[in-house]
Structure 1
Amino acid sequence: MKKIKITLGIGILSLGFLACNNVSHHKQEVTSLAKAFEGKFLIGAALNSAQILGEDTAALKLVASQFNSIVAENSMKSEVLQPQAGVFDFTESDKLVELGQKNKAFVVGHNLVWHSQAPAWFFVDKEGNDVSRDTLIERMKNHIHEVVGRYRGKIKGWDVVNEALNEDGSLRKSKFYHIIGPEYIELAFQFAHEADQDAELYYNDYNMYKPEKRKGAVHLIENLKAKGLRVDAIGMQAHYGLNKDLTKEIEESIMAFANTGVKVMITELDVSVLPFPAEEITAEVSQSYQNKPEYNPYVEAVPDSIQKALADYYANLFKVYLKHNDKISRITFWGVNDSQTWRNYWPIEGRTDYPLLFDRNNQPKPVYNTLIYLAKN
């Protein structure tokens, strides 16, 4: 793994790691991620249902003290908001917005159009056959207008379309694509802007460091902008793992996306410390593998060496993010603490992963102090 350069004769990462290891002997300065990176970019977290509904009070204290942006992990996906045609459930999304207002946090809506976690009824008629093009467009329009319109002026930015690209940069042949055609993407952005003309609109996808997917995303954004549609930022999902240093490719993508005239957001950030059961790490939710002991090596605790490796990896990422902070508007971690991370059940159910900055007891890990140090220096 590529190590961060040493400055002033002292390793940045080592300092951060040692500072955390010595926490019991030396009183640590009380700070927060949001304050540390203030003026550079927003620092966000994805919240699960227990946190949104106020049940996980310990995690909520962390959210209030550490983050200045929030997003729902699952509570605003279409299968949750509109489980039946015309029947909306805003219970959790309303609570998310209330929490954002209470904490004075930038609330992101995730997401409006996604082929996955959409209700089955959305694409079929009463007989189970695919609906017509006009019907699906009308359903998409109604859903977007209802959801975005409800939170007009309260939710400041929306992931309008999520994961529409294949790994080679071509458009994914989803139900939206098959029934409506490639123009479903521009229609989604059009409908979102109609519902709230002041809201920021984003495109969000994973593996955006890949040259082929990067090229496809650039083409997508340029095409939308050429048609006069509002696009404020592109979200680079950041589901990574310790086995591969991607900082060079990530930096190249940040610069390429910024050159289209939009901001870049680092979304869904987590770094798995566990072996990935396939050659290439991805975030395709349909992937699933059998649990084996070699894929779940840290059931009881994570070794110090892995904590250090995690701190190194995050530091390398944030060194790039800080270098390009003029292009990046927000960095959002996909979860508050290790107990809630989706990496515990994807792509293998029942594992014990440690991909975030706070442990299962909401305590900061060595990586936390490393990032605070980088922000201040």
Structure 2
Amino acid sequence: MRKIGLITAVGLCSILLFSCKHGAEVKDDTMGKTFKDAFKDKFYIGVAINRRQALQKNEKETTLIKQYFNSISPENDLKWENIHPSQGIYNFDPADSYVKTGTESDMFIIGHTLVWHSQTPDWVFTDEQENLLTREELLKRMKDHIDTVVSRYKGKIKGWDVVNEALNEDGSLRDSKWRTIIGDDYIEKAFEFAHAADPEAELYYNDYNLYKTEKRSGAIKIVNSLKEKGIPIKAVGEQGHYNLDRASLQDIEATIQDFIKAGVNVNFTELDISVLPEANADATADVANSEIYKEELNPYADGLPTEVENRLAQRYGSIFKLFVKYEKHIDRITFWGLSDADTWLNNWPVRGRTNYPLPFNRDYTLKKEVAKAILDTAK
């Protein structure tokens, strides 16, 4: 890799404003390469996009997505409650727009997610009298959903998060309705159905906090069970919802090493680094968590101090250095959101906070030191 210079924040801002005003591609001759270009020989650099971005409503957003990333994930539009809200009723239009955005730029398109305990409508698990379904009935609904959705995007969506967040923090299986009704093998069945619907698609298990030994052991059990039965799984996704301190480099490296030993690659699928105080001691990424707003939990409402941004840059640089070290076993790094304006961390687990976890600021300019720290690791 040739040495990568760094454009000044002012210069980049001017370039972005000009390019987006005129609908042109961002030209960045001083920096030389964007994220996707810098790491193109190592792994995909992805971004999760929301419905507005999938519909390409904002030229500035569209420009950045196409310029900086070569993989996309859908924030919500392929989750069951959005794409299959009622029995027999599918809402494909948003997902179709999402896939169209990716195919237009020859991106590696991710499907997220087929089976999850959250954002799945209650009707999925009950009959017309609201009684819980039998194992056979729920398996049929799972298969019909997976067949319909995966087959529609066969050959376009290249990788699927088949099962999402099936584990408790101690590595045991979560008592979701999927498990309660079907049994522990609901995970295997979901992978079987997805593979049958598109044999060429990569299949993943996705979860958070896999840097914790106990939870990672549970994920490895899932991988081993699938592999023992000859059911394909290409990689495990560690979501990577970290902060400035939580998840040591040693733990992240152990995560990579352990999944390599288990015979799968490891992707970092929802990467963001919170700069705000922890709202609770659980340190999980469970979307059901909710905490009361307190001013001390929102210390940077008026802007991110330089010293904190520098810490964020150092953190990103250290983590990406580790990614590069294991590039042969990592297929994709995906930021969970395009900019600080889009991050779910503004409202989770405390609504109304101002967080700064991503490389792009709210005005879509790059955080200068964060960008430099990430790009320097690609040299």
Q: Which has the higher contact order (CA 8 A, sep 6+)?
A: 1
Instruction: Measure, in 1, the Cα distance between the counterparts of 2:269 and 2:74.
Output: 12
* Equivalent position amino acid for 1:263 in 2: N
Q: Select 2:372's aligned residue among 364, 369, 372.
A: 369
Q: Select 1:95's aligned residue among 78, 83, 97.
A: 97
- Residue 306 of structure 1 corresponds to 308
* Equivalent position amino acid for 2:331 in 1: S
Q: Select 2:262's aligned residue among 254, 260, 263.
A: 260
- Residue 70 of structure 2 corresponds to 68
Instruction: Measure, in 1, the Cα distance between the counterparts of 2:97 and 2:11.
Output: 35
Instruction: Measure, in 1, the Cα distance between the counterparts of 2:56 and 2:183.
Output: 41
Is the 1:235–1:265 contact (alpha carbons within 8 Å) kept by the matching residues of 2? yes
Is the 2:35–2:45 contact (alpha carbons within 8 Å) kept by the matching residues of 1? yes
Q: CA deviation at 1:28?
A: 3.2
* Equivalent position amino acid for 2:374 in 1: L
* Equivalent position amino acid for 2:136 in 1: D
Is the 1:338–1:355 contact (alpha carbons within 8 Å) kept by the matching residues of 2? yes
Q: CA deviation at 1:245?
A: 4.7
Is the 1:83–1:119 contact (alpha carbons within 8 Å) kept by the matching residues of 2? yes
Is the 2:9–2:366 contact (alpha carbons within 8 Å) kept by the matching residues of 1? no
Instruction: Measure, in 1, the Cα distance between the counterparts of 2:82 and 2:248.
Output: 34
Q: CA deviation at 1:133?
A: 1.1
Deviations 1:233-259 (A, max 9, x none): 100110011133521011001011011
Instruction: Measure, in 1, the Cα distance between the counterparts of 2:295 and 2:175.
Output: 36
- Residue 143 of structure 1 corresponds to 145
Deviations 1:116-158 (A, max 9, x none): 0001110111222211111110000000000000011111000
Instruction: Measure, in 1, the Cα distance between the counterparts of 2:247 and 2:240.
Output: 12
SS for the counterpart of 2:239 is strand
Aligned ranges 1:1-377 → 2 under 5 Å:
28-365=30-367, 366-376=369-379
Deviations 1:67-100 (A, max 9, x none): 0000100110000010000100011111111111
Is the 2:125–2:133 contact (alpha carbons within 8 Å) kept by the matching residues of 1? yes
* Equivalent position amino acid for 2:177 in 1: K
Deviations 1:347-371 (A, max 9, x none): 0111110000000111010201211
| Structure-2 change in CA distance of 1:334 and 1:313 (3 Å) | same
Q: CA deviation at 1:22?
A: 8.2
TM-score (norm 1): 0.93
Deviations 1:159-195 (A, max 9, x none): 0000001111111110000000001000000000110
* Equivalent position amino acid for 1:162 in 2: N
- Residue 11 of structure 1 corresponds to none
Deviations 1:301-360 (A, max 9, x none): 100011101001111111111111111010000001010100011101111100000001
Q: CA deviation at 1:23?
A: 5.8
Deviations 1:24-62 (A, max 9, x none): 8xx832421000011111000000011011112211110
Q: For the aligned residues, what is the CA RMSD? A: 1.9
SS for the counterpart of 1:375 is coil
Q: CA deviation at 1:21?
A: 6.5
Is the 1:209–1:252 contact (alpha carbons within 8 Å) kept by the matching residues of 2? yes
Is the 2:234–2:265 contact (alpha carbons within 8 Å) kept by the matching residues of 1? yes
Q: CA deviation at 1:19?
A: 6.9
Is the 1:241–1:281 contact (alpha carbons within 8 Å) kept by the matching residues of 2? no
* Equivalent position amino acid for 1:195 in 2: A
* Equivalent position amino acid for 2:195 in 1: H
- Residue 19 of structure 2 corresponds to none
The runs of 5 or more residues in structure 2 that have no matched partner are 13-28
Instruction: Measure, in 1, the Cα distance between the counterparts of 2:177 and 2:231.
Output: 23
Instruction: Measure, in 2, the Cα distance between the counterparts of 1:245 and 1:21.
Output: 30
* Equivalent position amino acid for 2:69 in 1: F
Give the total of aligned pairs.
362
Is the 1:51–1:57 contact (alpha carbons within 8 Å) kept by the matching residues of 2? no
Q: What stretches of structure 1 move > 6 A for 4+ residues in a row?
A: none
Is the 2:238–2:267 contact (alpha carbons within 8 Å) kept by the matching residues of 1? yes
The runs of 5 or more residues in structure 1 that have no matched partner are 1-14
TM-score (norm 2): 0.92
* Equivalent position amino acid for 1:66 in 2: Y
Is the 1:204–1:235 contact (alpha carbons within 8 Å) kept by the matching residues of 2? yes
